[in-house]
Homo-oligomer: A and B are copies of this chain.
């Protein structure tokens, strides 16, 4: 039933479809004219919308985070598109697919999950294998593991971001294991899969992405460590030493106290996990920054996460008389 998406709307177009209401307020002009002002979003972006007349009763029928059917017309205001609304009707839950209304990973979540499961299946250490299975196959966890973002704003801040991040780390870890044969592969994989598992409870991500109260008071690192300890308790003969090594990976993965890790990485696997996690989250933040329209020819939008702008390499080299980039942009890797 979702017929139009924000990213496709054109000036002058009549539109009649569903959106998620993000912000809602009644505004009044200096001369006393009132109107209803909304921010509407779907998974492709958000757009402001205004209803100028007879909105008082309608405004009471829905709240922020509700999905509504609207009818209206797109117009330009100060050079930016907005929707002039004629009608707003709350939608029934059977009428929409919530996934249409939030940004999510560009990858196929089920394929990502299969890749994760395949990596776990190939493990040799039966205890670690059983631990990872007990987490990712727990019916109370699986759907949230597939859905959780990897962060509020810093990186992978979209539905499925956690899983995309984990699978990307699995990919990176192959080269690292090849280069540092002294690393214990199963332990490193355990760290990769579990390091951010606390995100599933630190954040709420049903309609918008917010910190939960639990998330603010405990943080995903401690939530994850406690969750994993409970899972370990249920596995017979799981040695206490191995348990401590796994918990250490979770607790230390931010790499330093001031970034929220209560312990510094003190095993080879913890050191490697920290660097891989740091690299993948920062590369994702760069990717996201370069994907956002910045209005500048050669430079991305400013990334608050990284405190700088990034160069649009290809645009920059195009201005050069002699060719720069000769390695063509390649296809994405098979899974992520």
Contact = CB atoms under 8 A, between A and B. Distances in A.
A165 to B, nearest CB: 12
B238 A222 contact: no
A222 B219 contact: no
B171 A179 contact: yes
B251 A319 contact: no
Interface in A293-328: 298-299, 307-311, 313, 316-317, 319-327
Nearest to A322: B239
A125 interface: yes
Interface residues of A, number: 107
Nearest to A227: B229
B217 A245 contact: yes
A58 interface: no
10 contacts: A124-B327, A125-B324, A213-B244, A216-B309, A218-B247, A226-B247, A239-B321, A268-B287, A271-B283, A272-B283
Identical chains bound together, number: 6
Contact of A229 (B226, B269, B308, B336): B226
B226 A263 contact: no
Nearest to A267: B311
A30 B51 CA distance: 12
Contacts of A229: 226, 229-230
A313 B267 contact: yes
A36 B182 CA distance: 41
Interface of A: 25-31, 33, 35, 76-79, 124-127, 168, 171-176, 178-182, 184-187, 213-214, 216-219, 221-222, 225-226, 229-230, 233, 237-242, 244-245, 247-248, 251-252, 257-264, 266-269, 271-272, 275-276, 278-280, 282-283, 286-287, 290, 298-299, 307-311, 313, 316-317, 319-327, 329-333, 336
A290 B322 CA distance: 49
Candidate in A225, A241, A269 with the most chain B CB atoms within 10 angstroms: A241
B241 A320 contact: yes
Nearest to A249: B217
A267 B317 CA distance: 12
A127 B322 contact: yes
A323 to B, nearest CB: 8
Nearest to A333: B178
Contacts of A329: 181-182
Nearest to A241: B320
A171 B181 contact: no
A101 B201 CA distance: 47
B33 A181 contact: no
A78 B176 contact: no
Contact of A225 (B181, B226, B259, B307): B226
- Closest CB pairs A-B (n = 8): A175-B175, A275-B279, A239-B320, A217-B248, A125-B326, A241-B320, A239-B322, A181-B330
B271 A282 contact: yes
Candidate in A216, A278, A307 with the most chain B CB atoms within 10 angstroms: A216
Contact of A218 (B248, B278, B282): B248
B311 A180 contact: no
Given A216-B311, A217-B311, A266-B311, 20 more contacts: A25-B79, A28-B78, A29-B31, A30-B35, A125-B323, A126-B326, A127-B324, A186-B327, A213-B244, A216-B263, A216-B299, A217-B252, A218-B262, A222-B262, A241-B324, A245-B313, A258-B258, A271-B283, A272-B283, A275-B275
